[in-house]
Structures are given as C-alpha cells and as structure tokens.
Amino acid sequence: MQLRDKVALITGAGSGLGLATASAFAREGARVVINDLHEAAAREAARGLGDAHAALGGDVSKESDVAAMVEAAVARFGRIDILVNNAGVADSFVPTVEQPLSHWQRLIDVHLTGTYLVSKTVAPLMMRQGGGAILNLNSIAGVLGLPVRTAYSAAKAGIGMLTRVLGCEWGPHGIRVNAVAPGYILTPLTEGLIAAGRIDPTRIRRRTPMGLLGAPEDIAEAMVFLASDRARFITGVTLPVDGGYCAFGAPSDAFAIDDLDPRTAA
C-alpha cells in the first residue's frame, strides 16, 4: 500500500497504459480520478476500480476543460497528491513531407501542451498542500530519432525537457516531476499496428537487449515507484522502461531470436 490515502488524477486513463496505471495505483491504496476525452470510457474504467474512485471527461489541450476537470477532482476528494499526464493520441506513420499541419498541431496540442496545461493547473494546489508528485509520459521516441514519427517525437522530446524544467522549478515547493519513457509495449494499439503490418515484433525483439516487448504493467509499476515516497529524492528525470532499447548502440542484434524459446515467440 505504497500510495495509501493519496489522491491521483490520471489523464487519458480510459484504456491502455493509463488504465493499467490507475489499476496499480488503486491496488496501492490511492483514490483515483480517471480522466478521458471520452467520458463514458472514463466512467467504465472507474467503475471497474470500485466505488472509491471517480471519472471525469475533458480534453487536456483545452484550458477550460482542464480547469473544470481539476476543480471537479478537488471538489470530490479535497486534494490532488499525484498527477499522471498520460493523455495522448496516435501517430500516423506518414512521411513528414506528406503530413498535414493539422496532424502536427493536434499531437503537439494533446501530448505537449496538455502536459503543460494540466501540470500548471494542478501545481498551485500541490504548493498549498506542501508538495506532490507529477509523472509525465515520455517515450523512446522522445530520446531516439524515429523516422516519420515527427510530431510525436517532437512532442515527447518536449515533455522530457518540460520534466527537467518543472522538476527544478517546483522542487523547492516539494513537488517532484518525473517521466517514464516506455519502449515497445503490448497495448491494444501496438497489437493493432502489428496486425496491420505497421511494426514488426521480431525486429523489435532483436533490437531489444532483453528480447521482449513490455506489458502495460511494466509501465504501471514504474509509475507506482516514482509516485511513492521511495522516490522522494528523485526529480527531473526520465526513466526508460524499454528492456534496454535506448541503451543499446552496437551495429548488431541485441538479442538472438530463438523460435523455440517461448519468451521470444512472436
């Protein structure tokens, strides 16, 4: 029960990594406010966690929605101890010269501006409370150069620097700001990309020193640690949770695929 009696607001938590994080936080004793652009998805997710938790709709890229969301969370629970900026939208995998400006703008608005907006709205409350923890969703795309992931990569790299800046600025107020950079995780979105032939899981496993794609729970457990008092002296960092993907740099496979090994079966 590392988060007993804490109140956590998690954006974009109706499914995927956000929902896995919400489930882990609830298990550790937190009362969770699940936000999602689709309020029905947020309500269903919160219902699955139990009556102690709440759901709120809202677009994190819209200042009025964010203000209303934070106000409603405080009205319900009286405080926000943990914020997880998880909300995001899918990338297009389209060459940069073919990407419309609207695609670039939407990804920047949701990922980067959304993280900024929700953080700056919650921070004054945390300052009055005497501290808190803010966790952001970076990505290996914000650390490494991934072709055709232009807007997504730029937004995630911005989140990495925003994490550093806010960690330094708000440290004196007792607010820790950190990020997790997931590698290739087997979410429903990733499974859909695999099924569509957009990404090759075998190539990913060969490039990953641990030879595996991650599970949503791997990200959730890292979030639990960074949100807990066990990480009380950690701020301004991005923690890769990627099986060693970002660390590897040799001009060879990181992991030898053995089709007979059940750990590496596609």
pLDDT in single tens digits along all 266 residues of the chain: 999 999 999 999 999 999 999 999 999 999 999 999 999 999 999 999 999 999 999 999 999 999 999 999 999 999 999 999 999 998 888 999 999 999 999 999 999 999 999 999 999 999 999 999 999 999 999 999 999 999 999 999 999 999 999 999 999 999 999 999 999 999 988 898 899 888 899 999 999 999 999 999 999 999 999 999 999 999 999 999 999 999 999 999 999 987 545 444 44
Q: At 116, which helix (H) or strand (E)? A: helix 114-129
**152 noted as active-site residue:** yes
Look at residue 261 in the predicted model and tell me its pLDDT.
52
* Catalytic option among 116, 152, 184, 245: 152
The C-alpha angle with vertex 17 and arms to 117 and 62, in degrees rounded to 5, equals 20
Q: What is the reported pLDDT for 193?
A: 85
Q: How far apart are CA 128 and CA 56, in angstroms?
A: 23
Distance CA 79, CA 82 (A): 9
Output the CA torsion sign for 46, 17, 216, 41.
positive
Note the pLDDT of residue 188.
Answer: 85
pLDDT at 198: 84
Q: What is the pLDDT of residue 259?
A: 52
* Strand intervals (E) in 67-167: 82-85, 132-137
pLDDT of residue 260: 42
Name the phi and psi angles at 213, rounded to 5: -90, 150
Contact 231, 2 (CB under 8 A): no
Non-local CB neighbours of 40 within 8 Å, separated by 6+ positions: none
Q: What pTM was computed for the model?
A: 0.94
Angle between helical axes of 39-49 and 16-27 (0-180°, round to 10)? 30
CA atoms within 13 A on the CB side of 254: 21
State the Cα angle at 176 between 225 and 81, rounded to 5°: 75
CATH number of 7-241: 3.40.50.720
